[in-house]
Amino acid sequence: METDDVPLDDKAKRMRDLLSSFYAPDPSSTENAPSNPGTLDAINTTSFDADQYMNLLIQKSNLEALLQRHVEMAAEIKNIDTDLQMLVYENYNKFISATDAIKRMKTNIVGMEANMEQLLDKIMSVQSKSDGVNTSLFEKRERVEKLHRTRNLLRKVQFIYDLPARLEKCIEAEAYVDAVKFYTGAMPIFKAYGDSSFHDCKQASEEAIAVIVKNLQGKLFSDSESIQSRAEAAVLLKQLDFPVDSLQVKLLEKLEQSLGDLQLKTNDIENASMESNDPKQGKVSDSVHITAHEGSVRGFAEAISAYRVIFPESEEQLIKLVQDVVVKNFETTEQYVKGRISSANLLCVLRTIWTDVLLMDEVLSEAVLPVFSLEAAQIALKQHVASSFNYLLQDISDALLRVNVSSKEAAEEHPLQVALEASKKAVLQGSMDVLLDFRQLLDDDLQLLVQLRDFIIDWVQEGFQDFFRALYDRFLLLSGRNSSSRQDQGLTGAHGEKVLAGLVLVLAQLSVFIEQTVIPRITEEIAASFSGGGARGCENGPAFVPGVICRIFRSAGERLLHHYINMRTQKVSTLLRKRFTTPNWVKHKEPREVHMFVDLFLQELKESASEVKQILPQGLARKHRRSDSNGSTASSRSNQLRDDKMTRSNTQRARSQLLETHLAKLFKQKVEIFTKVEYTQESVVTTTVKLCLKSLQEFVRLQTFNRSGFQQIQLDIQFLRTPLKETVEDEAAVDFLLDEVIVAASERCLDPIPLEPPILDRLIQAKLAKWKEQNLISP
Amino acid sequence: MQGGSSGIGYGLKYQARCISDVKADTDHTSFITGTLSLREENEVHLIRLSSGGTELICEGLFSHPNEIWDLASCPFDQRIFSTVFSTGESYGAAIWQIPELYGQLNSPQLERIASLDAHVGKINCVLWWPSGRHDKLISIDDENLFLWALDCSKKAAQVQSKQSSGMLHYLSGGAWDPHDINAVATTCESSVQFWDLRTMKKTNAIEHAHIHNANYDMKKNHILVTAEDESGIHIWDTRKPKSPIQELPGHTHWTWAVTCNPEYDGLILSAGTDSTVNLWMAPTSVEDEAITESIAESPAQQADPLLNSYSDYEDSVYGLAWSSREPWIFASLSYDGRVVVESIKPFLSRK
């Protein structure tokens, strides 16, 4: 029908629109044009009002227009009319075709039921037939299945019966993998029926397996087998539920045993170092030794790697083991370092260890051996530095203490000088050697040492700092100044005080030497090759502070020099004390000769002078000194005064002399008795003499004399005058002090009448004669 | 020579060795001193520091029969003092009382209260208990230690007990512990010995040679300071006699006398035969080890214990005394008879 509609295209379309709008459930589709009824367009709306429209039309249009409108409208009405007709027709048409369809359906359905029934019957019969076939075949199938199962079972049983033989075959062929596979396959059966039906079989196969296990173990332990096969053996053993742990332990033990060979023996080290010291044969034997050692290490490394493959989970133990080796090696090294060795030897040892470590590290990098050994090496090196300095210290004190020994033997003429030279050399050469030694450490390109470079530099610097401190302490100890430690230093006390005094002088001079020569040299050297470092943090500054050390030794030198003078004066002091406290001065007899304490005093001075001469440099020219002495301009004046005074004092009474002394004191400048000590022979001797004379004066002041006592003092002092002047640089001060002694004696005298000059002269001459005689007898 | 202007001087006519602080005089700062002249008439001078502190006034001048080797003022009666004297051949010791009518300055006679005449040998010193009223006295001669009971009202002194120092120990002086009324230290050539006065037995000894003088610290118990010939000044803890707790350098020549300040902790004054008086500040509470350590550490860092050296003396200084009334003032006496009173105030503030 639609095909018919195609020619009347527009028309049909319009029709259909209309139709559908008619059937449309919603009539409001047109309401969207609620147009104003007051317009002419409102004709096609629901609210169309014909009258209104008419009126409007009439009002708006003229006649012609109305007429035209009329025509138009008439045409439109006609159109619509035909449309309506068309619609009705169409509707009807459709209705009719529908009725036709229904009628046709009715006729088709009638014969269907019979066909259906027929179909059902046929299906039923097919089913019954198939059931019949099924039941008839069932039994056969059952049997087939049963037979199949039995056959399988039989095959298994056959396998188990064959197992021993097969295993044998496997053993022969060394196909342990298969054997183990078979055996483990058979295991469940053996577990289930092993006690009953398959007893023999089980036993036989177990025996076979035992053989296998044995073989495997052998394989595992035999070093000749390849690592893979050994690893396989281990795996197989494990599969066989063999207690692998015990094996592991055993193997580990074996490794540990082999460690023994690996450890460096002190002897070895010594040998190595001995050989390396001997350049001729050193190379050959050294290399032999090293290769031997390296070989064993390599073997060990291989063993370890094998072990690792075999027992992958045993890493920890291995690490421990390897670390043990390194630790032990370093322990031996430390032991070795404690002895006296050069850095070259240490280097040799360290190099050996380091190669070992590298070898082992390749195998077992988890053990972080390099780091580990770095730490250990750090300790060893530190010890080495410390012990080097210790030995240096020991050397120096040995050199110093040789004074005692040699002077005991009395073979050498200038024991102190020798000792000084020896100790100077010990200090300077020793420290230079030590530095050179350490430089070897720095210069070496061993990786271990390169990493520790900064540390070494710091240690060396620190070492020097500490060394000089220790040396200072040692000096004090040797000099006996450290009263607290005097008791435990038996060796200083054991040798006589005389030697000790000399030693103190040596120490004083040595301190100066260290301050002025050694420290600058070392500073230079350190700056040249030990700069850098800085591992100990910048805030601390460099470890070696030459300024501080210099200061320490400068003060030490001064202290020791004073100490020396003190020791000397102390001895004289005891002498004087004895002299002045023993006799009863109030009941003294007339002086017959110069008292022997003068001899002793001069003897002491001579001794001191001889010591001083050996050690200290000579001062400036004496003549020059004299005019430039401490009394300065005043000294000449006071000299003159004193000369005057002395000439008169011999003739006049002492009382007026006292007054005069006071007067003189008023006018002359105070003579500086106690001046700074310098490192010259004259200065030291002068200071000693001055201190002794001052002591003499003080002792005199504590006594009360009768006339003879006073005269005795006068005589002794007068005699002292000449020899003292010869030894001393500051004549003025000594003169002054000698006068003071006489003055003090006269003050403390009940009846101060001096000896007549002729008698004085005679006695002195007598003494001088005696002296000369003595000197002739014992030169 | 520095600081020469700061001291206030006073001249004695003759040489002199000893000066003592008049402790019992609470109104004035005064010192008492006596001359040492073998052949002249000796004098005892009572000196007072004027209220302005600028002048030394002679408050009393008394003649004394012999040269005075030791002089000590009674700590509880300002008019009483003791002397040790010598005629040149023999020694004597006596307790004196200054007569009431002093101030007239016409050399009135001293009144001898008691004579400590049990001694035979050379008498060294007479000690009063430094801390207060105590009716006992100690006198020390070369060989013996005497304990006297003194009765001022009856004017008598009796030997209460006596102890010999033993062979080969020639006593040279002593000090009475201000903290313990029964403890006395005596010095001899080779050691310092400690005595218990109740039993008169030796309790302890410090073996150290050539000690001239010893002085107890007034403030701290058990601290004894000694002065030696050559080795300077040592500070000891009497409980640890093995080694000194501290060592000070002392003087260029002998260190003759040493005395602790009665008020300020650690201040020590020493006089020496090198004609100087040194003022020391001993660092407090330092361990023995710490000292040796710190010396080794660096000498520069350690503060110099020597605060000042008074060197304006013409001769050896033997006499030294702090004023207990004004503890920043001390008097020193050099052998030529010059008393110098100095104030250490400038050094106190620095401390």
DSSP assignment of A479-507: HT--GGGTTT-HHHHHS-HHHHHHHHHHH
In A562-655 the beta strands, taken as DSSP E runs, fall at none
CB A87 within 8 A of CB A11: no
- The answer for B 86-115 residues in CB contact with A (under 8 A) is 86, 88-89
Q: What is the pLDDT of residue A634?
A: 34
The greatest distance separating any two alpha carbons of chain B, rounded to the nearest whole angstrom, comes to 62
Q: What is the pLDDT of residue B315?
A: 85
Nearest to A704 among B86, B273, B314 (CB): B86
Q: What's the rounded Cα separation, in Å, for the pair B169 and B195?
A: 14
Distances (CA, A) of B223 to B189, B214, B226, B263: 20, 10, 10, 14
- Contact check, Cβ <8 Å, A698/B253: yes
Q: What is the pLDDT of residue A226?
A: 66
SS3 category, A20: helix
pLDDT at position A739 over 70: yes
Q: How far is B252 from chain A (nearest CA, A)?
A: 7
Average pLDDT over residues A29-55: 65
Q: What is the pLDDT of residue A646?
A: 45
Structure tokens at A573: 């002091």
Q: What's the rounded Cα separation, in Å, for the pair A716 and A763?
A: 10
Interstrand relation of B317-322 and B30-35 (parallel, antiparallel or unpaired): unpaired
Q: What is the pLDDT of residue A151?
A: 93
- pLDDT top residue among A367 and A748: A748
pLDDT at position A262 over 70: no
CB A310 within 8 A of CB A385: no
Q: What is the pLDDT of residue A78?
A: 93
| Main-chain dihedrals φ then ψ at residue A771, nearest 5 degrees | -60, -50
Rg (alpha carbons) of chain B, rounded to whole number:
19
Average pLDDT over residues B212-235: 84
What tens digit of pLDDT does each residue of B185-219 get? 988 878 888 888 888 888 888 887 778 888 888 88
What tens digit of pLDDT does each residue of B48-101 get? 888 887 888 888 888 888 889 999 998 888 888 999 998 877 888 999 988 876
What tens digit of pLDDT does each residue of A52-72 get? 888 888 888 888 888 998 899
pLDDT at position A653 over 60: no
- Contact check, Cβ <8 Å, A570/B229: yes
Residue B65: which of B89, B103, B37 has the closest Cα? Answer: B37
Average pLDDT over residues B220-228: 86
Q: What's the rounded Cα separation, in Å, for the pair B146 and B119?
A: 9
pLDDT at position B268 over 80: yes
Q: What is the pLDDT of residue A149?
A: 93
> Residue B227: CB partners within 8 Å, gap ≥ 6?
B211, B212, B213, B214, B233, B250, B255, B256, B257, B258, B270
pLDDT tier, A301 (very low <50, low <70, confident <90, very high otherwise): confident
What tens digit of pLDDT does each residue of A78-106 get? 998 998 899 899 889 989 999 998 888 88
DSSP assignment of A258-291: HHHHHSPPHHHHHHHHHHHH-HHHHHHHHHHHHH
The region of weakest confidence among A253-262, A691-700, A751-760 is: A253-262
Q: What is the pLDDT of residue A126?
A: 92
Structure tokens at A752: 């101060």
Closest chain B residue by Cα to residue A746 = B38
- Contact check, Cβ <8 Å, B38/A670: no
Nearest to B314 among A569, A670, A749 (CB): A670
Nearest to A698 among B230, B242, B316 (CB): B316
Distance from the Cα of residue A309 to its chain's centroid: 34
The region of weakest confidence among A286-300, B168-182, B271-285 is: A286-300
pLDDT tier, A636 (very low <50, low <70, confident <90, very high otherwise): very low
Q: What's the rounded Cα separation, in Å, for the pair A61 and A728?
A: 166
The region of weakest confidence among A343-357, A512-526, B319-333 is: A343-357
pLDDT at position A190 over 60: yes
Q: What's the rounded Cα separation, in Å, for the pair B313 and B253?
A: 14
Structure tokens at A419: 């000792």
DSSP assignment of A311-375: SGGGHHHHHHHHHHHHHHHHHHHHHHHHS---HHHHHHHHHHHHHHHHHHHHH-GGG-HHHHHHH
pLDDT at position A656 over 50: yes
CB A750 within 8 A of CB A703: no
Beta-bridge partner residues of B136: B149
Closest chain B residue by Cα to residue A740 = B315
Distance from the Cα of residue A433 to its chain's centroid: 26
Handedness of CA B126, B42, B273, A727 (dihedral sign): negative
Q: What's the rounded Cα separation, in Å, for the pair A241 and A212?
A: 13
Q: What is the pLDDT of residue A484?
A: 38
Helix (H) or strand (E) segment spanning residue B321: strand B317-322
Average pLDDT over residues A496-510: 69
Residue B72: which of B20, B34, B118, B115 has the closest Cα? Answer: B20
Beta-bridge partner residues of B42: B64
Q: What is the pLDDT of residue A625?
A: 39
pLDDT tier, A533 (very low <50, low <70, confident <90, very high otherwise): low
SS3 category, B237: strand
SS3 category, A553: helix
Beta-bridge partner residues of B20: B32
What tens digit of pLDDT does each residue of A441-499 get? 777 777 777 777 777 777 778 788 888 888 888 777 777 654 433 333 333 333 344 45
Helices (H) and strands (E) in chain A, counts: 28, 0
- Contact check, Cβ <8 Å, B296/A555: no
Q: How far is A437 from chain B (nearest CA, A)?
A: 28
Rg (alpha carbons) of chain A, rounded to whole number:
65
Q: What is the pLDDT of residue A628?
A: 37
Q: What is the pLDDT of residue A75?
A: 93
- Contact check, Cβ <8 Å, B335/A701: yes
Residue A323: which of A256, A380, A270 has the closest Cα? Answer: A256
Q: What is the pLDDT of residue A124?
A: 93
Give the best residue of A670, A710, A736 to mutate against chain B (max B CB count within 10 A): A670
pLDDT at position B116 over 80: yes
- Contact check, Cβ <8 Å, B296/A473: yes
The region of weakest confidence among A5-14, A145-154, A340-349, B257-266 is: A5-14
Q: What is the pLDDT of residue A33?
A: 43
**B274: which DSSP letter?**
T
The percent of residues above 90 in pLDDT, for chain A, comes to: 5
- Percentages helix, strand, coil for chain A (3-state, rounded to 5) are 80, 0, 20
Q: What is the pLDDT of residue A627?
A: 35
pLDDT at position A569 over 80: yes
Structure tokens at A17: 């629109």
Structure tokens at B52: 């302005």
pLDDT at position A223 over 80: no
**B283: which DSSP letter?**
P
Across B7-36, b (16+ Cβ under 10 Å) vs e yields bbebebebbbbbbbbbbbbeebbbbbbbbb
CB B8 within 8 A of CB B41: no
Q: What is the pLDDT of residue A144?
A: 92
CB B203 within 8 A of CB B195: yes
* Interchain contact B296–A (C-beta under 8 A): yes
Q: What is the pLDDT of residue A289?
A: 56
* Interchain contact B38–A (C-beta under 8 A): yes
- pLDDT top residue among A777 and A746: A746
- Contact check, Cβ <8 Å, B230/A473: no
As a whole number, the mean pLDDT across chain A is: 73
Long-range contacts of residues B188-192, Cβ cutoff 8 Å, at least 24 apart: B192/B224, B192/B226, B192/B236
- Contact check, Cβ <8 Å, B274/A483: no
* Interchain contact B252–A (C-beta under 8 A): yes
pLDDT tier, A148 (very low <50, low <70, confident <90, very high otherwise): very high
CA atoms within 13 A on the CB side of A143: 4
Helices A244-262 and A279-310, packing angle to 10 deg:
170
- pLDDT top residue among A113 and A287: A113
Handedness of CA A745, A747, A748, A750 (dihedral sign): positive
SS3 category, B96: strand
Tell me whether 0.90 is exceeded by the ipTM.
no
- pLDDT top residue among A400 and B178: B178
- pLDDT top residue among B7 and A123: A123
Helix (H) or strand (E) segment spanning residue A389: helix A369-409
Q: What is the pLDDT of residue A682?
A: 79
pLDDT at position A660 over 70: no
Q: Highest mean pLDDT range out of A7-16, A107-116, A371-380, B146-155?
A: B146-155
Q: What is the pLDDT of residue A666?
A: 55
Q: What's the rounded Cα separation, in Å, for the pair B38 and B65?
A: 11
Distance from the Cα of residue A68 to its chain's centroid: 122
Residue A324: which of A272, A352, A360 has the closest Cα? Answer: A360
Q: What is the pLDDT of residue A649?
A: 43
pLDDT at position A29 over 50: no
Q: How far is B105 from chain A (nearest CA, A)?
A: 27
**A42: which DSSP letter?**
G
Q: What's the rounded Cα separation, in Å, for the pair B26 and B323?
A: 11
CB B33 within 8 A of CB B12: yes
Structure tokens at A375: 């730490």
- Contact check, Cβ <8 Å, A673/B274: yes
Q: What is the pLDDT of residue B27?
A: 86
Structure tokens at A501: 């005094």
pLDDT at position B293 over 50: no
Q: What is the pLDDT of residue A123?
A: 92
- Contact check, Cβ <8 Å, A483/B247: yes
Q: What is the pLDDT of residue A368?
A: 73
Nearest to A750 among B38, B242, B298 (CB): B38
- Contact check, Cβ <8 Å, B253/A695: yes
Q: What is the pLDDT of residue A40?
A: 65
**A7: which DSSP letter?**
T
Q: What's the rounded Cα separation, in Å, for the pair A370 and A383?
A: 19
Distances (CA, A) of A458 to A451, A454, A546, B222: 13, 6, 14, 46
Distance from the Cα of residue B20 to its chain's centroid: 7
Residue with tokens 């001060």: A733
Distance from the Cα of residue A460 to its chain's centroid: 15
**Chain A residues with CB-CB distance to B296 below 8 A:** 469, 472-473, 552
pLDDT at position B155 over 50: yes
pLDDT tier, B32 (very low <50, low <70, confident <90, very high otherwise): very high
- Contact check, Cβ <8 Å, B273/A573: no
Q: What is the pLDDT of residue A642?
A: 44
Residue with tokens 């009324």: B181
Q: How far is B72 from chain A (nearest CA, A)?
A: 19
Q: What's the rounded Cα separation, in Å, for the pair A293 and A351?
A: 12
- Contact check, Cβ <8 Å, B292/A484: yes
Distances (CA, A) of A350 to A141, A362, A390, A446, A448: 85, 18, 21, 9, 8
